[in-house]
Homo-oligomer: A and B are copies of this chain.
Amino acid sequence: MNNFIFQNPTKLVFGKGQIARLSALVPKERKIMVTFGGGSVKRNGVYEQVKEALKEHNYIEFWGIEPNPAVETLRKAIAQCKEENVDFLLAVGGGSVLDGTKLIAAGVCTDTDAWDIVLKGRADKSIPFASVMTLPATGSEMNSGAVISRRETQEKFAFYTRYPEFSILDPEVTYSLPANQIAAGLTDIYVHVLEQYMTTAGQSRVMDRWAEGLLLTVLEIAPKIKENQHDYATMADFMLTATMALNDFISMGVTQDWCTHMIGHELTALHGITHGASLAIVMPATMRVLREQKRSKLLQYADRIFHVEASTEDERIEMAIEKTEEFFRSLGLATRLSEVGIGDDTIETVAKRFNESGVAYGEAGNVTGDVARKILQAAK
């Protein structure tokens, strides 16, 4: 096990009816900005619950943080916060609304342009923020990361900042999610776990078992959600799994990969493809191209997740990768670039961007543009 330091101070407030607790959780002496996405919270009752809970608070609303939140939008929110002396932010929505809010919270504290904070990779200062999460997927509700896009240059990068003060997760708000968001969410969760798990075997028994527990949970609940999206127990499992998949709980002392995410971000930045959908295409190809490097863990994955039986190791690995791809397809997602109209031009653009950045990604720091090209070729 590698040395590590772990600390996650976010308060998780989980369950039916918990949105009402906002009235006590959000500090009354602060000037609040409540941030939203496109308006689904007005249709599922969340907006009314938030309004009721905050009726004695001093707050303004900011609407329109889009999927893959754009720095162009967030700059406006930062300017408004500064004008109105906002000193606490509450994100109400999915991971994009919260990610965007993380950048607003950092942007308020500086005269630096918001995109420069993203490029730096880490915010020096931030006002406190919290969330009411409506879409189980990104794990942003209990981590310090955020991914921001810049429309004018078709770029998408992550940066790190403080943790949310608290996040409220009420599984009932997921009853009305559209099927494509659930599919992308389940994929995002599954791949978050794989990014922390599909590395080198034997680093930590506990972290391996916990990652496997999340993978098995996603595989179990996916068909059940399709059957009945109003089953509280299943949707609660869905919501808790999303949070636990990316809150540092399964990454203690183990190496991580994240090259699938880095490549997926490029596909989203260049083609607007949904984040989870990009991962469904890239992940199986990453496992194929890096199979020798990840051999020990691929075998463990084949055994513990899919219980595959075959005479050779290579067959077992191939079967596990196929089952992974099948799972994404069972969610209704494409797993090949050709299905979403992405061809060699984009592959070359991604390879060029990676090579020019001078950074090589992945657990071994060997995913250069040339390796990214191989991965995307394998995903054709």
Q: Which A residues form the contact surface with B (CB < 8 A)? A: 1-18, 166, 171, 202, 204-206, 208-210, 212-214, 216-217, 220-221, 232-233, 236-237, 240-241, 244, 249, 252-253
Contacts and interface: CB of A to CB of B under 8 A. Distances in A.
Contact of A213 (B4, B16, B213, B221): B213
Given A204-B240, A217-B206, A6 B14 contact: yes
Given A209-B214, A209-B217, A237 B1 contact: yes
What are the 7 tightest A-B residue pairs by CB atom distance, in nearest-first order?
A209-B213, A3-B15, A7-B11, A1-B236, A6-B12, A205-B217, A9-B9
B9 A5 contact: no
A253 B233 contact: no
Nearest to A233: B1
Given A205-B237, A209-B217, 6 more contacts: A3-B16, A5-B12, A206-B214, A209-B210, A213-B213, A249-B249
Contacts of A6: 11-12, 14
11 contacts: A1-B15, A2-B15, A4-B14, A4-B15, A7-B11, A204-B240, A205-B237, A209-B209, A209-B210, A209-B212, A240-B253
Nearest to A244: B206
Contacts of A217: 205-206, 209
Contacts of A213: 205-206, 208-210, 212-213
A50 B213 CA distance: 38
Nearest to A142: B6
B240 A252 contact: yes
Nearest to A1: B236
A217 B3 CA distance: 19
Given A9-B9, A14-B6, A204 B236 contact: yes
A232 to B, nearest CB: 8
A232 B12 CA distance: 34
Given A1-B233, A6-B12, A15-B3, A220 B205 contact: yes
Nearest to A14: B4
Contacts of A17: 3
Choose among A5, A11, A18 the residue with the greatest number of B CB atoms under 10 Å from its CB.
A5
Choose among A16, A206, A249 the residue with the greatest number of B CB atoms under 10 Å from its CB.
A206
Contacts of A253: 14-15, 236, 240
A289 B14 CA distance: 33
